[in-house]
Structure 1
Amino acid sequence: MVPLLVILLTLTGAWAGRPVLLPPPHAADLVLPPDQWFTQKLDHNNPGDDRTWQQRYQVNDTFYQPGGPVFLMIGGEGPATAIWVVAGQWIEYAQQYGALCFQLEHRFYGESRPTADMSVENLQYLSSEQALADLASFSAAMTEQYALPEGTKWVAFGGSYPGTLAAWYRLKYPDMVHAAVSTSAPLLAKTDFLEYKQVVKDSIYAKSGEQCYMNVQQAFADAEQLLEHPIGWRSLTSAFQLCAAFDGTSSLDGNNLMQILADRIESVVQYNEDNRAFSGHKDANITIGSVCELMNDESMGVPIERLAALNDLIMTVHEETCVEHRYQSLIDKMTDLDFASENNDATRTWIWQTCTEFGWYQTAEGAEQPFGQHIPLSYYIQQCIDAYGPEYVWIYGGYDQSFVDAAVAATNAKYGGRDLATSRVVLVNGSIDPWHAMGVIVSSDPALPAVYINGTAHCANMYPARAEDSPELVAARQQIGDLIGQWLQED
């Protein structure tokens, strides 16, 4: 019998500045499969711990042909919405290769809640290592449940953080996964990810030129000046519609406000001209081009007034009534332990993973970026301390930047960073996406080919095709599909 191929596609959730694959379009037109539940082990590292929990998954068998591949979409740091089980480029590959499709939600995100709450005592079970073991456990169970043939091959697909998981799954479980397509995946853990904002600069230059970049840089320089005096504080409060009067005596409030304003531009760059409008995303039409058109419009006033106008636009699109800039409000959200709380937008769980494994803090400490110098590494490290507090210290024996540095070093030692010691993994990145700086964009190893797509942003190849897609994007999707077909033929 022909070995069955199982392909994993991994997804993520949403948080400013984190690697996120957003849902595909036309959700209202799709018939979605129901949620199902898998009994998963809580702690894969402790054979004596028999506690279990219910992990959400969905199935789509529309295209399955006996002996054909099975695709498993693995959730990332957000809800595993059923939309992705019926839409996206991976579904085109599923139709091409006659695939049975699964989606498995990541532990501690969405409805997959292994513990009663998100206390630090419980968050010790949230890690990439546990998530990878979840994949292996689920895949083994589905192989038995669906009577899949011996020798079934698994190929992991992933976009963003789950793209990292896809590559690591192939690395750590080569007997379970035959190959991987790893898209927009940050493979190198790094505490101070100053390169993120540097790529934002390069992307603004590439799409709209020097004038826009200089206007953005001047706007943030002007904002930094306003941070220094009470008169400026009143101007910031009014111009950017803050929820409370700005108090410049709190450096963390200043850090938080500057990162919020930087994210107004960074998020546009990260998802520039993608195809997320198909899921009803209200800001999909805001691109680098439209941002720069506004930032270059002298009729809107000086650069900081244009930045305020951009802020107004994004607030209107997202129906925001004010900008909550206070650092303590962020910490209040992050210290809410209730899964069911309206504060649970995955920030607490994702920041936990950055504090204990990845870093990836997008500082403005590098010179080659337009956002000033008020977004330091200490701002992010303080979040780890304040969000997880004494309980964190009690369990882990202390906490400061050296702990994060050590955790990041351990992650790179465990997985190899950019030096993946594996094969049959294609590494896909877009030139506009800031996350490509932590990935692999050039490879001389035919077993680990790199596909670097000029002019595209985060996970662009994973969205459904459309008429306006660039020739480079069209060619990349074809190349990836050909690699899947090639690997299907290999033992």
Structure 2
Amino acid sequence: MTMVFSVYQSTILILEYLHVVADVLASHSRECFEAAKKAFARLDKMIDSHAGARNVTILFNLCDDIRRFNTKLDVANFFRALAGVISNIVQYNTNDPKATSVADICDILTNKAYGDEINRLVRVTKLSYKSKCVNFKYRDTVNYARNVFVSPDSPARQWWYQTCTEFGWFHTTGQKEAVFGTRVPVDFHISLCEDVFGPQFNLNYMSGQIEKTNTHFGGRDINVRRVVFVQGSSDPWYPLGLTATTNPKSPVIFINGTSHCATMYGTSKNDLPQVTAAREEIDRLIGMWLGLKIRTQETLQNDATNSTLNVLLLVTCNFVIYKL
């Protein structure tokens, strides 16, 4: 079997995810990084006062008054949602030229014409929520995830189940810099697993399951052949994967300045040179392993649907791997 894959080491929490998100903001400009940090720091303080919580409810267009739903889990869910707006944009930055980019959110976060840092963060949040109110209530999130009816537009339940039973990978705000506040501890995610899937899905259970996952698949010590591992330096997931080749039978391509699954998108005239070079190397490797004629980038652009990348690869961008 021949595959393109990004290997991941399973772990209960992943502090590095939001750390990379912060690094990407800083790489755009230090001013952008500082603006985001100040916004979340102010929000962290506002949420604890009656007047501040009222202002948060109004400014962020919350669906309910956060003064009435002010448990640690509700507040954590709110901060998770806000950090998720920024991290999602960072994760897929530049993959789709029409989508909101890091440059777009940094232009807002650093534009003093929009008011103070909190008001600028509100504008960034509206890039995702638009005119919809922000539903931060923890109980609503639990009820949503308990819905067993599969929707192709909303695979959240399936994803959460995998994190609670195989991977972990819980995004928390315990980073030293605390760019996204301090309100989302690992306990929040454990509570979510227990409340959605049952009390048996506790920390001890998850720790055992994660150990089994790493034992079965090998984690960073995975032993496979004819697999090419692709990572991007701006992908918040990359710290859990391989960034250098340790086994010549399963080479690693680490692409500077690219985000999540950048090589999985169709070719474009706007592609970064390093993305084009990575696709050519992937195509060369797959062609060599399958004994096919090597195709050039020009051929790929003229006939992308027939490319080795699109026809002969079993593309599993994330989280599925077969041990050979």
User: Which category of TM-score, normalised to the shorter sequence, fits these structures?
Assistant: 0.7 to 0.9
**In the alignment, does 2:67 pair up with 1:258?**
no
Q: Of residues 285, 288, 293 in structure 1, which corresponds to 2:99? A: 285
Q: Give the residue type in structure 1 aligned to 2:34.
A: M
| TM-score, normalised with respect to structure 1 | 0.57
Structure 1 runs not aligned, ≥5 long: 1-176, 278-283
Q: Of residues 317, 327, 350 in structure 1, which corresponds to 2:159? A: 350
How far apart are residue 339 of structure 1 and its match? 3.5
**In the alignment, does 2:116 pair up with 1:302?**
yes
Distance 1:231 1:401, change over 3 A: same
Query: Displaced runs of 4+ in structure 1, greater than 6 A?
Result: none
Once the two structures are superposed, residues 340-390 of structure 1 have per-residue CA deviations (whole angstroms, 9 ceiling, x without a partner) of 6x9x8222222111111110101111214510110110010000110012x
Q: Distance in 2 between matches of 1:350 and 1:263?
A: 15
Once the two structures are superposed, residues 413-460 of structure 1 have per-residue CA deviations (whole angstroms, 9 ceiling, x without a partner) of 111001111212110011111011111111142112110111111111
User: After the TM superposition, which residues 54-73 of structure 1 pair with which residues of structure 2 at under 5 Å, given as runs?
Assistant: none
Q: Distance in 1 between matches of 2:71 and 2:86?
A: 24
Greater strand proportion? 1
Once the two structures are superposed, residues 1-25 of structure 1 have per-residue CA deviations (whole angstroms, 9 ceiling, x without a partner) of xxxxxxxxxxxxxxxxxxxxxxxxx
Q: Distance in 2 between matches of 1:322 and 1:458?
A: 28
Structure 2 runs not aligned, ≥5 long: 293-324
How many percent identity over aligned positions?
32
Per the alignment, residue 387 of structure 1 pairs with 196
* Aligned residues of 1:270 and 1:432 also touching (Cα < 8 A): yes
For 2:169, what is the secondary structure of its paired residue?
Answer: strand
Q: CA-atom RMSD, angstroms?
A: 1.7
Q: Give the residue type in structure 1 aligned to 2:142.
A: I
In the alignment of these two chains, the number of paired residues is 291
* Aligned residues of 1:331 and 1:386 also touching (Cα < 8 A): yes
Once the two structures are superposed, residues 143-170 of structure 1 have per-residue CA deviations (whole angstroms, 9 ceiling, x without a partner) of xxxxxxxxxxxxxxxxxxxxxxxxxxxx
Q: Of residues 118, 134, 138 in structure 2, which corresponds to 1:323? A: 134
Q: Give the residue type in structure 1 aligned to 2:116.
A: V
Per the alignment, residue 430 of structure 1 pairs with 232
Q: Distance in 2 between matches of 1:369 and 1:474?
A: 35
Q: Of residues 441, 453, 459 in structure 1, which corresponds to 2:261? A: 459
**In the alignment, does 2:8 pair up with 1:180?**
no
Answer with 1 or 2: which has the greater Rg. Answer: 1
Per the alignment, residue 336 of structure 1 pairs with 147
Q: Distance in 1 between matches of 2:118 and 2:213?
A: 40
**In the alignment, does 2:182 pair up with 1:373?**
yes
Per the alignment, residue 194 of structure 1 pairs with 15
Q: Distance in 2 between matches of 1:195 and 1:303?
A: 24
Q: Distance in 2 between matches of 1:322 and 1:406?
A: 38
**In the alignment, does 2:73 pair up with 1:245?**
no
Q: Distance in 2 between matches of 1:339 and 1:286?
A: 28
User: After the TM superposition, which residues 118-267 of structure 1 pair with which residues of structure 2 at under 5 Å, given as runs?
Assistant: 177=1, 179-182=2-5, 185-206=6-27, 208-247=28-67, 249-267=70-88
Greater helix proportion? 2
How far apart are residue 201 of structure 1 and its match? 1.2
Q: Give the residue type in structure 2 aligned to 1:312.
A: K
Taking CA–CA contacts closer than 8 Å with sequence separation of 6 or more, which of the two structures ends up with the larger relative contact order?
A: 2
| TM-score, normalised with respect to structure 2 | 0.86
How far apart are residue 315 of structure 1 and its match? 2.3
**In the alignment, does 2:282 pair up with 1:471?**
no
Distance 1:259 1:481, change over 3 A: same
Q: Distance in 2 between matches of 1:314 and 1:321?
A: 9
Q: Distance in 1 between matches of 2:178 and 2:248?
A: 34
How far apart are residue 293 of structure 1 and its match? 0.7
Per the alignment, residue 95 of structure 1 pairs with none
